Amino acid sequence: SLSSNSSLSFNPCHRSPRTIMEEYHKPDQQTVQALRNIASRLRINSIKATTAAGSGHPTSCCSVAEIMSVLFFHTMKYRPDDPSNPSNDRFILSKGHAAPVLYAVWAETGYLKESELLNLRKVDSILEGHPVPKQQFVDVATGSLGQGLGAACGMAYTGKYFDKASYRVFCLLGDGEMSEGSVWEAMAFASYYQLDNLVAILDINRLGQSDPTPLQHHVEKYQRRCEAFGWHAVIVDGHSVEELCKVLNQPRHQPLAIIAKTIKGKGIPAAEDKMGWHGKPLPKDMAESVIKELQSRILSCNKRLYPSPPNEDASPVSLRNIRMPSAPSYKAGDKIATRKAYGIALAKLGRYNEHVVALDGDTKNSTFSELFKNEHPNRYVECYIAEQNMVSVAIGCAVRDRNVVFASTFATFFTRAYDQLRMAAISESNINLCGSHCGVSIGEDGPSQMGLEDLAMFRAIPTATVFYPSDGVSTEKAVELAANTKGLCFIRTSRPENSIIYNCNEDFHVGQAKVVYKTNDDHVTVVGAGVTLHEALAAAEQLKKGTEKINIRVIDPFTIKPLDSKTIIDNARATRGRIITVEDHYYEGGLGEAVCSAVVNETGFTVHRLAVSQVPRSGKPHELLRIFGIDRDAIAHAVRKVLSSSANAK
Ligand SMILES: Cc1ncc(C[n+]2csc(CCOP(=O)(O)OP(=O)(O)O)c2C)c(N)n1
Ligand SMILES: *[C@@H]1O[C@H](CO)[C@@H](O)[C@H](O)[C@H]1NC(C)=O
Ligand SMILES: *[C@@H]1O[C@H](CO)[C@@H](O)[C@H](O)[C@H]1NC(C)=O
């Protein structure tokens, strides 16, 4: 068995009654030496791998060798043969560029072959330059600095409040990345929610990439900052395995920050605490001599350390087939904003699936995630006004398939979390995001609140599905489909109330558009979504009743990505290739561009686009739709223009 409590035991001969608690976790000399030996081997393997790769960050690995040794061979409880076991303690390498030392640790546990380490960064190896979840022992991709602690918060929140399990979460950060605001968003979240199962280890090695860090080795400043954020903060010598063992075994009532004073490049004499070595592998001959020296520090020791197994108290969870038990219950002609339909749908989904959780950034009575909170208060996480952290927490809650996560805020505020969203794709994360208040149709609040880039942003993410529902029924279907769709799902909701246009039994699928208005003699195909779909329907009525009696076809794409090219092309062919797109979004990257790319190979097609072309302003929704040329009149005008120009072309 891999469990061996002997690695944690004390020497009974030294026991005195007064210090029994203090000494209980104190490692014996054999253990201390074994931990030091592991640290030396981690340095050796980090140097070997980066020198073989010809790139990488050996000095960033060397400052954390003792920290990694103690964490993985003294502190953490996990099954090394089953790195993603739900009961294991979690580890997040926020300073992802130190990946080689993480790989070296897993070689040390026996999970990776030591020889595999030499394939670091090769195109056919899983050992990429930075951690990615194709490695079983990685939950979230890191490498964009400042994001690990937010994800760790999501995991710790899940452990404490959802799983109610005993696993703990350890996150290792660089001091350079402490300049990221997102780190401090996470610090505030962790203390507010009393995540006493969370430990952050700050590797204070004084140096960043091109310059020393702003606080250099002023560890007491880090301590004061961490304390100000509500953490218990302890300064240690990050190269002392005894100090690390001691601090990591303290009982906790708060999140714990271990401020580890270290030396960048420790063990590489020419690079120790020196500028100019960040991200540089050692030349071969230098590597050889350093490794020789490091090897001489490995003292024989008859103790082999094994990690302790976890308490098996986080049972596997099935997130398959998260279904609504009944159809939506809207009546034709009812009016409801899709943002409200989102809240209703999410609360309903939560009623039947206990692993559905919701997050919001203090906008819950605007996005209507409040309806979920009212019904399921224990599964709602208020993330406050920290959208980057909210996305990272969502990612953390979703790892190891513990929860089906929905996070909402105004669509436009996801822009500030774009790096987190991009990393969510690399993390193979299955989070769902709902962005309300899209477009100029929010009205009076003005441009700072209007989501006008969100479609472009989410469409560019390879693993994303983009839902843009247009009524209450399709919004409820979007929520259900998102819960069952892998990758990132984005649901774009609107503020104005619009009519229910679908029958409650209408079937919806990802990538399947609906033809919502059609006759046998249509002249133009109009594609709209959300409020502009309703404007297009009004334009259709207007054109039919007008003196010209023009019939148009109206399509609701339902998902903007994937876009139902076939339905659009087949219907547009019936209208002689004439397409008008109309969207409450900027021109770039939205619905119009999606349709253009879909019909790029069709001959004789013309796409006329209506979208928002300038920074908008405050006003009434209908005024803004008119001013920015995306209302019913603008659509009718565009239809006439398209028809007259094609008539002139004949
Ligand atoms: C968001 C972000 N900005 C910049 C970088 C480029 N970068 C990679 S490592 C690094 C320095 C990191 O310093 P520190 O956090 O102190 O880690 P160390 O290497 O010193 O252990 C920088 C600027 C990055 N990876 N992510
Ligand atoms: C949200 O709730 C607060 C507190 O009840 C209230 O003051 C505010 O007006 C509400 N906002 C919206 C957009 O409904
Ligand atoms: C257009 O045609 C090219 C060449 O045949 C093909 O590779 C591409 O996938 C087509 N694009 C679309 C959107 O159909």
Same domain as 483, residue 523 = no
Do 523 and 477 sit in the same domain of this protein?
Answer: no
Confidence at 585, pLDDT banded by 50, 70, 90: very high
Residue 249's alpha-carbon distances to 75, 236, 455, 474, 622, in angstroms, are 7, 13, 48, 52, 62
Instruction: Kindly state whether residue 311 falls inside one of the protein's structural domains.
Output: no
Mean pLDDT value across the chain? 95
Burial class (CB in 10 A: 0-12, 13-18, 19+), 560: buried
Residue from 645, 647, 646, 632 nearest 546 by CA: 632
Whether residues 440 and 558 fall in one domain: no
User: Does the beta carbon of 644 sit less than 6 angstroms from any atom of ligand 2?
Assistant: no
Domain match, 210 and 344 both: no
Same domain, 523 and 382: no
Nearest-atom index, ligand 1, CA of 144: 26
- For ligand 3, whether the C-beta of 600 sits within 6 Å is yes
The pLDDT score that the predictor gives to residue 602 is 98
Q: What's the pLDDT tens digit per position in 279-330?
A: 999 999 999 999 999 999 999 988 999 999 999 999 889 998 899 999 999 9
Give CA–CA dist 158/396, Å, rounded: 8
Residue 6 confidence class, pLDDT cut points 50, 70, 90 = very low
The backbone torsions φ and ψ at residue 477, rounded to the nearest 5 degrees and listed phi first, read: -65, -35
The predicted-structure confidence for 450-495, as pLDDT tens digits, reads as follows 999 999 999 999 999 999 999 999 999 999 999 999 999 999 999 9
Of 227, 194, 192, 474, residue with least CA distance to 202: 227
Do residues 65 and 43 make contact, with C-beta atoms less than 8 angstroms apart? yes
Together in a domain, 213 and 119 = yes
pLDDT digits (tens, 9 = 90+) for 348-401: 999 999 999 999 999 999 999 999 999 999 999 999 999 999 999 999 999 999
The answer to whether the CB of 365 is under 6 A from ligand 2 is: yes
pLDDT of res. 57: 98
- In the reported structure, the alpha carbon of residue 599 is separated from the centroid of ligand 3 by a whole-number distance in angstroms of 9
Rounded average pLDDT over 178-197: 98
Res. 110: pLDDT tops 60: yes
Domain-embedded: residue 104: yes
Instruction: Considering every ligand atom shown, identify the ligand nearest to the alpha carbon of residue 201 and give its number.
Output: 1
Do both 345 and 259 map to the same domain? no
CA distance 509 to 488: 16
CATH of the domain at 377: 3.40.50.970
Residue 313 lies in a domain: no
pTM over 0.85: yes
| In a shared domain, residues 435 and 543 | no
What's the CA-to-centroid distance between 189 and ligand 3, angstroms? 47
Give the mutation target among 177, 277, 418 for probing the ligand 1 site: most ligand atoms within 8 A of CB.
177
Query: Does one domain contain both 529 and 469?
Result: no
Which pLDDT does position 371 carry in this prediction?
A: 98
Catalytic residues, by residue number, are: 387
324 assigned to some structural domain: no
Nearest protein Cα to ligand 3, atom 4? 601
End-to-end distance of the chain based on CA atoms, in angstroms? Answer: 83
CATH number at residue 607: 3.40.50.920
Alpha-carbon span 509 to 235, nearest angstrom: 54
Residue 257 structural domain: 29-297
Residue 206 lies in a domain: yes
Query: Which protein residues touch ligand 1 with a CB less than 6 Å away?
Result: 57, 60, 63, 95, 97, 143-146, 174-177, 203, 205, 207-209, 213, 264, 278
The per-residue pLDDT for range 446-459, each reduced to its tens digit, is: 999 999 999 999 99
State phi, psi for 466 to the nearest 5 degrees. Answer: -115, 110
| Domain boundary residue, one of 297, 326, 357 | 297
Considering only the C-alpha atoms of the chain, give the largest distance between any 2 of them, rounded to a whole number of Å. 103
- Mean pLDDT (whole number) for 3-19: 39
374 CA distance to ligand 2 centroid (A)? 15
Q: Which atom of ligand 1 is nearest to the CA of 96?
A: 25
Q: How many A from CA of 398 to the centre of ligand 2?
A: 29
Same domain, 457 and 591: no
pLDDT in tens, 206-260: 999 999 999 999 999 999 999 999 999 999 999 999 999 999 998 788 999 999 9
Burial environment of residue 153 by CB neighbours within 10 A (0 to 12, 13 to 18, 19 or more): buried
Q: Please identify, among 244, 271, 297, the residue that sits at the C-terminal boundary of a domain.
A: 297
Residue 342 pLDDT exceeds 70: yes
- Note the ligand closest to the C-alpha atom of 597: 3
Same domain? 196 vs 344? no
Domain boundary among 469, 500, 531: 500
Total of domains in the chain: 3
Return the pLDDT at 25: 65
pLDDT(23) > 70 = no
Q: Could you tell me if residue 7 is inside a domain?
A: no
The DSSP element (H or E) to which 607 belongs, if any, is: strand 606-612
Q: How far apart are CA 215 and CA 398, in angstroms?
A: 34
Is residue 363 a part of any domain in this protein? yes
Residue % of the chain over a pLDDT of 70: 96
User: Quick check: CB of 567 below 6 Å from ligand 2?
Assistant: no
- Asked, for residue 589, whether it belongs to a domain, the answer is yes
Distance in angstroms (rounded) separating the CA atoms of residues 317 and 321 = 12
Burial class (CB in 10 A: 0-12, 13-18, 19+), 240: middle
pLDDT at 650: 59
Residues 145, 282 within the same domain: yes
User: Which ranges in 144-230 belong to alpha helices (H)?
Assistant: 148-157, 181-192, 219-228
